[in-house]
Structure 1
Amino acid sequence: MPRIFTGLEVPEALREDLARLRGGLMSARWMEPEDYHLTLRFVGDVDERTANEIADLLYAVRKRSIEVTLTGLGAFGGDRPRSIFVQVRQTQPLMELQAEHERIMRRVGLSPEPRKFVPHITLARLSRDATARSVADWLALRGLFMSRTFIVPSFALFSSKESVGGGPYLVEETYPLAA
């Protein structure tokens, strides 16, 4: 059974910039830069037939290239932080692309995604001993995060092996967006 999800790839130059943020937090399992991505729709473990059906239906997506803007750093989990991420501005084109992916997953019989879509790029997963204070301190030291914008010419269908901390991720198929 493949574990799959759809998402946007991060350009190489930007991956290198984001990788410079790594370190300084003992409870973090840092993502490898080549695994940085923006998840549009997590699917999970599915059978080959379902994976192939999803791959075929994604060709029907007709959207324009998207401008993606990174706006800052954050953490999920509140008092029990689980991950550190780069925030991505919610734009109408990005939200429409994500909604189209959600419709496709519903069409193949998957349950709706229960969590609200919050566009982000995960930098690190945090162990249970991470404290809200240590994460807040790490974020505060990087408070001068410079916003960056890039154009996304395509989206991808990714696969991954079940592992601790995510990755490695493999691009199974790339789907162009209109210029």
Structure 2
Amino acid sequence: MVRAFIGIDLPASIREEIAAVQPALRAVPADISLVNPAIIHITLRFIGEVTEEEIGRIRAALQTIRFSPFPVSIGPVTLNSRSRPRVIWCGVEDQGRCAALHQEIEAVLSPLGYEPEARAFTPHATVGRIRRSHPSLEGVVDTLGRDGFGSFEVGEFTLKQSMLTARGPIYTDLCVVTL
């Protein structure tokens, strides 16, 4: 079995900018698991555990998607919720293009038996996960990357394998789809 998802890789320059703010998050007396900056990405669709045979069908379905390249801007660091924060992330500004691509992906996966995700799709790049918050976290987050972390042109997305380890996930590209 393979644990898989579909995502957009961020350019190294943007990941480095995000990495530069992570020390401020480490200094907060909260229990936060920060994402390794080398693997920060925008998730378009989490698939979960699938067989090698299913990976082949998913790969073939994704290759049928026709979508034009589009610009995105990676916004400042924020919390997924102010009242009960669980994720620290950077929002994505893209005129709805990630959501439209997400819908295309859902449309080609549905005939393979993958039900569309129930929750609303919100494009973001996860910076960390909060196990236990602290009152100072919101104030620190509000100071990080206020101008955002840059823009880039999305020209591809990737089907990835995610192998969970004690040191964090290890991602392997299974298929790259060029837009």
**TM-score higher than 0.5 here?**
yes
TM-score, normalised by the number of residues in structure 2: 0.88
Q: Does 1:152 align with 2:154?
A: yes
1:166–1:106: structure 2 CA closer, same or farther, 3 Å change rule? Answer: farther
The partner residue of 2:83 within 49, 55, 79 is 79
Q: Which residue of 1 aligns with 2:57?
A: 53
1:82–1:3: structure 2 CA closer, same or farther, 3 Å change rule? Answer: same
**RMSD of aligned C-alpha atoms?**
1.9
The aligned runs of 1:8-87 (5 Å cut-off) are 8-23=8-23, 24-25=27-28, 26-87=30-91
TM-score, normalised by the number of residues in structure 1: 0.88
Report deviation, 1:28.
1.4
The aligned runs of 1:90-129 (5 Å cut-off) are 90-127=94-131, 129=132
Report deviation, 1:140.
2.2
Residue deviations 1:2-29 (CA, integer Å, cap 9, x gap): 1111110100111111111102334211
Q: Which amino acid aligns with 2:61?
A: L
Q: Is the 8 A contact 1:67 1:150 kept in 2?
A: yes
Q: Describe the SS at the equivalent of 2:169.
A: coil
- Residue identity over aligned pairs, in percent, reads 27
Q: Is the 8 A contact 1:90 1:119 kept in 2?
A: no
Length, aligned pairs only: 175
Structure 2 residue runs of 5 or longer lacking an equivalent are none
- Alpha-carbon separation, structure 1, partners of 2:166 and 2:93: 28
Structure 1 residue runs of 5 or longer lacking an equivalent are none
Deviates more, 1:164-173 or 1:29-38: 164-173
The partner residue of 1:130 within 108, 124, 133 is 133
